[in-house]
């Protein structure tokens, strides 16, 4: 670990371009997800292929780098928790919600990740109370309330129910982030972490997928949906790996700004590609969410490598 004497406002143009590209790629996965779920494919079947492709790609990268995957009992437990909190559980709820919500609403929901990360950190006392950041959480809560509206329908088909389900994903991403910060084994390489989580996640996911009849058969003639499944899996690997690279290259504080780009790109790509439109309340909610993110983001005089 070492400090980088680069302040966020003076980060290089290359780092800024990388941040914009990564956030746009991440945001595009939300739009692609909307197309994929339109077929009625079950979430676990889609997650299986995401994990399978990730395991293959990351294993090849590790092999080329001459790295081996630690498989002690402690490491396997670590991979399993990362897989469950970072992929299997959050993605299951995201796919369920995506079938009923617009890409824009999903993107705004994802913006709550830093807020849930802070709430989790406060709960386990790894962060101290800060009034300004708590106010940011409050603005995020106002944003979600505006989306739900005064007459939110929480019935089995209501927007309110699926917006709450969409928030399960950022909740678990927040839990995962804190777990990684506190429990990552010494000398654990980020690529190895993702490789192990993908492989162990695949072992967990496969029997559940088969038992629940959620299998997605990709042996048939491919349509735009099957290509979207492949594309989304690749983009997830790129986004996840790219984020880790960005943290290592520019520091955690600068890299955390990707949340803004993911949310904005998800909203505007949904409008551009899917023809979505949003009410005044949703645009107001987006404004509150962006303001909340500004306040919740950690402050640091220097960017530090993670």
Predicted confidence at residue 166, as pLDDT, reads: 92
* The token pair that represents 240 in the structure block: 């996840």
In the prediction, which pLDDT does 14 show?
79
Q: What is the pLDDT of residue 200?
A: 97
pLDDT for the residue numbered 95: 92
Task: Give the pLDDT of residue 303.
Answer: 39
The phi-psi region of residue 41 (left if phi > 0; otherwise alpha if psi is between -120 and 50; otherwise beta) is beta
Which sequence spans correspond to the domains of the chain? 3-304
pLDDT at 128: 82
Alpha carbons 69 and 189: distance in angstroms, whole number: 10
Residue 83 CA to residue 64 CA, distance in Å, equals: 23
pLDDT score of 172: 93
- How many Cα atoms within 13 Å fall on the side-chain side of residue 305? 9
By DSSP bridging, strand 303-304 and strand 3-4 are: antiparallel
User: 78 near 184, Cβ under 8 Å?
Assistant: yes
| 53/59 Cα distance (integer angstroms) | 10
Contact 52, 202 (CB under 8 A): yes
Residue with tokens 């897989």: 83
Task: Give the pLDDT of residue 299.
Answer: 59
What is the mean pLDDT for each group of 10 consecutive residues in the chain (306 residues)? 45 77 90 85 91 91 92 95 94 92 90 87 84 89 83 64 91 88 84 92 96 89 87 84 72 70 90 89 90 77 40
Instruction: Quickly list DSSP for 222-285.
Output: --HHHHHHHHHHHHHHHHHHHHHHHHHHH-HHHHTTHHHHHHHHHHHHHHHHH-----HHHHHH
Distance of CA 120 to the CA centre of its chain: 16
* Stretch (H or E) spanning 304: strand 303-304
> Which DSSP helix (H) or strand (E) runs through 3?
strand 3-4
Show the tokens assigned to 291: 């303001």
pTM of this structure: 0.84
Nearest to 92 by CA among 40, 155, 168: 168
Query: What are the tokens at 93?
Result: 């709820």
- Residue 5's pLDDT is 45
Query: Is residue 6 classed exposed, middle or buried when 0-12, 13-18 and 19+ CB atoms within 10 A define those classes?
Result: middle
CA distance 27 to 93: 17
């Amino acid at each position: 670990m070492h400090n980088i004497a680069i302040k966020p406002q003076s980060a290089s143009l290359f780092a800024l371009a990388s941040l914009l590209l990564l956030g746009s790629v991440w945001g595009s996965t939300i739009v692609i997800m909307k197309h994929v779920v339109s077929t009625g494919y079950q979430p676990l079947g889609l997650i299986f292929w995401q994990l399978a492709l990730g395991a293959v790609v990351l294993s090849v990268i590790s092999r080329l780098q001459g790295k081996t995957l630690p498989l002690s009992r402690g490491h396997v437990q670590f991979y399993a928790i990362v897989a469950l909190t970072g992929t299997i559980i959050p993605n299951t709820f995201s796919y369920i919600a995506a079938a009923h919500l617009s890409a824009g609403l999903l993107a705004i929901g994802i913006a709550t990740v830093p807020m849930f990360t802070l709430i989790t950190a406060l709960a386990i006392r790894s962060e101290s109370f800060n009034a300004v950041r708590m106010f940011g959480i409050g603005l995020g809560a106002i944003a979600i309330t505006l989306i739900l509206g005064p007459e939110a329908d929480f019935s089995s088909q209501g927007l309110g129910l699926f917006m709450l389900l969409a928030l399960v994903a950022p909740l678990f991403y927040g839990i995962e982030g804190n777990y990684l910060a506190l429990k990552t084994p010494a000398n654990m390489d980020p690529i190895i972490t993702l490789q192990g989580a993908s492989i162990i996640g695949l072992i967990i996911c496969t029997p559940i997928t088969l038992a629940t009849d959620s299998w997605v058969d990709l042996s048939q003639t491919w349509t735009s949906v099957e290509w979207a499944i492949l594309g989304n899996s690749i983009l997830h690997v790129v986004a996840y790996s790219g984020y880790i690279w960005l943290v290592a290259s520019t520091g955690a504080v600068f890299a955390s700004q990707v949340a803004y780009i993911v949310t904005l790109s998800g909203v505007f790509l949904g409008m551009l590609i899917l023809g979505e439109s949003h009410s005044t309340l949703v645009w107001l909610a987006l404004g509150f969410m962006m303001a909340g993110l500004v306040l919740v983001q950690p402050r640091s005089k220097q960017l530090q490598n993670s």
